[in-house]
Structure 1
Amino acid sequence: MAVEVKMPQLGLTMEEGTVSKWVKKEGDTVKVGDILVEITTDKLTSEVASEAEGTLIKIVAGEGEDVPVKGILAYIGQAGEAVGGAPVAAPVAAPVAAPSPKKEGKTTVAIIGGGPGGYVAAIRAAQLGGEVTLIEKNKLGGTCLNVGCIPTKVLLHSAEALAEAKEMAQLGINVEVKGIDWSKVQAKKSAVTNQLVSGVSGLMKANKIKVIEGVASFASKDTLTVTKKDGSKENLTFDKIIIAAGSVPAVPPIPGVKENASCVDSTGALSFEAVPKSLLVIGGGVIGIELATAYSRFGTEVTVVEAMSKLLPMMDGELTAQLRKMMEARGIKIMTDAKVQSVEASGTATKVNVEVGGKVEAFTAEKVLVAVGRRTDTEALNLDAVGIANDRGRISVNDKMETNVANVYAIGDCLGKVMLAHVASAQGEIAAENALGEDVLYDGATNPSCVYTDPEFAGVGLTEEKAKELGIGFKVGKFPLMANGKALIMNGGVGMIKFIIGEEYKEVLGVHILGPRATDLIGECALAVGMEATVEDIIATIHAHPTVTEAVREAALAAEKRAIHIPNK
């Protein structure tokens, strides 16, 4: 006799749950303990395991359906067994469905991609009254939550904790560091990632956003064909479409890279089976430098190869040079103006041939991280077929996030410009608001850049180099963190805060911070840039003592030759 699979009560106050994903499909053989389905509530995502053995003969509740507690989700029995008096027919592959009829009343909005741009756009569109469908081909949270920002920061935090433990003797605390339990580091990374992804699923449920797992492509200017994992296709028509397709790691045309299993991208570098003894990083941008910092702290011998003349080209040059010296002092070998010519196997290691100073040198490493940037992930969208303007997959938009095709918007990494999660989120809100009838513009002036090195590095607005390039008159205020009490306690006073101030009106043009908690401190500075605040506005604001943020005010004072805790020059 067929056994009912019911909606479990996952909390005392739970009344219903949403079927977010069927792991098994009709006709599959299941054993006790096999995961059948994922259920989402407004607080979490949970898996429902089978309590019976047999065949999943009938799925009653489809993906996206709300089911009350103890409501029937499916039946498990014997193949061909009757449910409700009728034999179960064998599952048949669904043909491509005709476009769904357009619903009257609410504006229907499709979001392609569930990363920090897409899911934020979906929530904002739902807040404004849209009927929202989010289409995600892999996992909610996108690169950032699953294989980018968040897991990287878990590794960096573990590495920072290890370094601090080794230095505790300086504070009079004796700590014995026995080593690294890499499996626990990886488990922590997975736990944090899963919790945040579950949180996004809960937000989709709370905002009544329908989530479809599949690959979307344009069938027409207002219709998407969604190809699901089982191969079935469905055509869906919408009033508005927001593309948030994201990006993937770029693979340079270096001979031997694709063929060598020891060469990994950033995703692979987050999931090494063990801490490598040696690591060569191709690329001195944010991803390469952050992972170089983390693995160096874990004890890996790290070499960084950068083709340009300096690391982190978008950041302030003076502070970047300081960071390089700090990294080299910790044993990281850094080569700039260096180009990788080829990669080849060399016994159990990998040989990397690098042209530097007009000569080719060979370096060997256990692992090679290829971190030369990212490229847009738009191939599957069929952009050209519907005339969406793009430059080799990089979608063109205006400051309303509109493409050249009416009612189609694009945001985030798929634009091929500033590939940062917080930029995608901000653009997602702008696109959603315009799609739902508002009239707002995106302004990237307040966009901070953050690098989670040790110490942290952050900047917003113009760098000194950029101001010179634009011919803008400016003056500089600097404050070394050696003169700040809290920084002295936290990291020995390593780092600096630097203001770029307009010469004529004394407005804050840019702020750059190398030091503890730089990525948190930059928020105040971004606000100042956005408000067109003057240096006097910063000076007139009382900053708490003892904090690192006091040094923000001191750097502003220094621009006016009024610094209190350092001599003025």
Structure 2
Amino acid sequence: MNNKFDLLIIGAGPGGYVAAKKAAKLGMSVVIIEKGPIGGTCINRGCIPMKALLRASTLYREILGCGKYGLYADDAGYDLQDMIEYKNQATREMRENLEEEFKELGIQSVQGTATVMSGKQVRVTFEDGSSSFYFGNKILIATGSKERRLDIPGADLPGVMTSEALMTSGGNKYHSLIVLGGGVTGLETATVFRNLGAKVTIIEVSDHLIPRIDSEFSDELERLMRAHGVEIYKGSMSERITRDEEGVCCEFVCAEGTKRVHAEALLMSVGRIPNTDGLFAPEVPIKMDHGKILVDEFFRTSVPGIYAVGDVTGGIQLAHVASAQGTYVVEKMNDLTPSVIVSMVPSCLFTPISIVPSCLYTEPEIASVGLTETQAREKGVQIRVGRYDMKGNGQQIISRETGGFIKVIFAANSDVLLGAQIMCARATDMIGELATALANGLTSTQLMYAMRAHPTFNEAISCAVENSRDNIKE
């Protein structure tokens, strides 16, 4: 058996499997090592199962409210176990498609725990305790991240779970749920259980939900979630968790003093940390900082021939970022001009800005790319802001959606797009157009060249761009 490869990848999540496919297509011999099923957290315990449950729960909520369309479904209900099976089927199909691609491309997949040794050797320990050694002319680390737990009393009590545990469990029909953390995962989970009729309480340490997004969007999302019965406490510090016959209780301190909230279960969604435990043998001199692997601008580690991408480097924790970085690394390995970038310097700025789209699958969806209005003003950039309220959009009216708007930010002098934020149904699909415009330095004039079909949510982009031009003197 040949255990020597041009490229050895540790981690079969979005960073690893995309890099593996790219390398194989470029003629490299590739082995990819993964402790669990291929697909990593994203396919098996994160993005895909979460979006499947969001889809199912949203459809259920829409069925209950179908009277606004002149439809009636008096006997509507749901079977949680059937929903779980639907979610599991989605992950299986994703894995099976990947496995088929690996076979077609000649990528060898190995399931086991990898430890990087000296001399670019990797020891793989299998479930039965046996081990084998593999060699990679180049090694790419893409082991992702793992969930962080708050170090507070009661964090390990029954009924306290992480999102990954929730996504891989058999499912419980919780009638009440506490969510610690008002970030992406916490809010998406809250949306699922709210759609299924549970009483949901969100406890967030920051002074607003999703701290990194435009505050106007965060405020609107909070208003809509409260309108749907979600209880939200911001600026709150959790102190302890207890358990009694009713379930779990979280004690926290907020502006109103010390409060206690009871629920059947508690989701701890307070961020993720790089997954590097036991990854390197003691003799491997990889430079790290608080668990994250340090890399340069080309994703090279301190050991020649070893690269790292994705969450394990402590950067932006998004699946599509890891995939882009994996593609970039493989292309650089093969002396190709990289086909993907994650940041650029607009003509009006002296510093790079991210062109990575961020997406939140709540109701309505939120998507963002580039600078927010606040960030642009903090940089001292003169800007024009275009805004459009979705209440006037034809598709919004037809779909009976509520809330939401679009903001686009242009440099006042050069007219170059600097950022965009969207809050409406299909926002996560629509943001791609504006990410492409941002990456290519398009102006509001150029964005207006394109006709957008009617009636669509997407045509609202034209309205927002046009609004930004209202005060331009021709």
TM-score interval, normalised by the smaller of the two chains: over 0.9
SS at match of 1:561: coil
The offset of 1:442, in angstroms, is: 4.1
- More helix per residue: 1 or 2? 2
Aligned: 1:113 with 2:11: yes
Supply the AA of the counterpart residue of 1:265: T
2:302 aligned residue: 404
1:317 aligned residue: 215
Describe the superposition over 1:417-442 as per-residue Cα deviations: whole angstroms up to 9, x where unpaired. 21111111111111111223335374
Q: How does 1:211-230 map to 2 (within 5 A)?
A: 211-230=109-128
2:216 and 2:461 mapped to 1: Cα distance?
17
Contact 2:401 2:425 in 1 (8 A): no
Q: State the aligned residue count.
A: 460
- Provide closer, same or farther for how the CA distance between residues 391 and 177 of structure 1 changes in structure 2, counting only shifts above 3 A: farther
2:170 and 2:372 mapped to 1: Cα distance?
36
Aligned: 1:390 with 2:317: no
1:443 aligned residue: 342
Contact 1:108 1:132 in 2 (8 A): yes
> Bigger shift: 123-132 or 435-444?
435-444
The offset of 1:237, in angstroms, is: 1.7
Q: How does 1:479-518 map to 2 (within 5 A)?
A: 479-518=388-427
The offset of 1:458, in angstroms, is: 0.5
> Bigger shift: 386-395 or 247-256?
386-395
The offset of 1:296, in angstroms, is: 0.4
SS at match of 2:283: helix
1:343 aligned residue: 241
Aligned: 1:163 with 2:79: no
Contact 1:215 1:380 in 2 (8 A): no
Q: How does 1:149-228 map to 2 (within 5 A)?
A: 149-228=47-126
What is the TM-score normalised by the length of structure 2? 0.94
The offset of 1:446, in angstroms, is: 2.2
1:384 and 1:488 mapped to 2: Cα distance?
61
Describe the superposition over 1:240-266 as per-residue Cα deviations: whole angstroms up to 9, x where unpaired. 0000001111111111112x1110000
SS at match of 2:118: coil
Contact 2:224 2:403 in 1 (8 A): no
The offset of 1:101, in angstroms, is: 7.4
Match 2:145 to one of 247, 251, 266:
247
1:134 aligned residue: 32
SS at match of 1:423: helix
1:340 and 1:379 mapped to 2: Cα distance?
27
The offset of 1:468, in angstroms, is: 2.2
2:416 and 2:66 mapped to 1: Cα distance?
42
2:60 and 2:130 mapped to 1: Cα distance?
49
The offset of 1:358, in angstroms, is: 5.5
2:160 aligned residue: 263
Match 2:384 to one of 449, 457, 475:
475
2:284 and 2:201 mapped to 1: Cα distance?
46
Describe the superposition over 1:283-308 as per-residue Cα deviations: whole angstroms up to 9, x where unpaired. 00000000001100101100000001
1:429 and 1:406 mapped to 2: Cα distance?
19
Where structure 1 has 5 or more consecutive residues not aligned to the other structure, the ranges are: 1-64, 66-99, 564-569
SS at match of 2:17: helix
Contact 1:508 1:528 in 2 (8 A): yes
2:327 and 2:242 mapped to 1: Cα distance?
46
- Provide closer, same or farther for how the CA distance between residues 168 and 178 of structure 1 changes in structure 2, counting only shifts above 3 A: closer
2:197 and 2:333 mapped to 1: Cα distance?
50
The offset of 1:348, in angstroms, is: 3.0
4+ long deviations beyond 4 Å: none
Where structure 2 has 5 or more consecutive residues not aligned to the other structure, the ranges are: 344-353
1:463 and 1:384 mapped to 2: Cα distance?
44
The offset of 1:390, in angstroms, is: 1.5
Q: How does 1:69-84 map to 2 (within 5 A)?
A: none
Higher relative contact order (CA 8 A, sep 6+): 2
Supply the AA of the counterpart residue of 1:508: L
The offset of 1:346, in angstroms, is: 2.1
Supply the AA of the counterpart residue of 1:130: M
1:110 and 1:314 mapped to 2: Cα distance?
35
1:183 and 1:551 mapped to 2: Cα distance?
39
Contact 1:283 1:305 in 2 (8 A): yes
2:268 aligned residue: 370
The offset of 1:562, in angstroms, is: 7.4
The offset of 1:389, in angstroms, is: 1.8
* Identical aligned residues as a percent: 35
Supply the AA of the counterpart residue of 1:199: N
1:469 and 1:562 mapped to 2: Cα distance?
22
1:473 and 1:242 mapped to 2: Cα distance?
42
2:171 aligned residue: 273
2:119 and 2:437 mapped to 1: Cα distance?
41
SS at match of 1:380: coil
Supply the AA of the counterpart residue of 1:476: V
Based on CA coordinates, which of the two structures has the bigger radius of gyration?
Answer: 1
Contact 1:490 1:516 in 2 (8 A): no
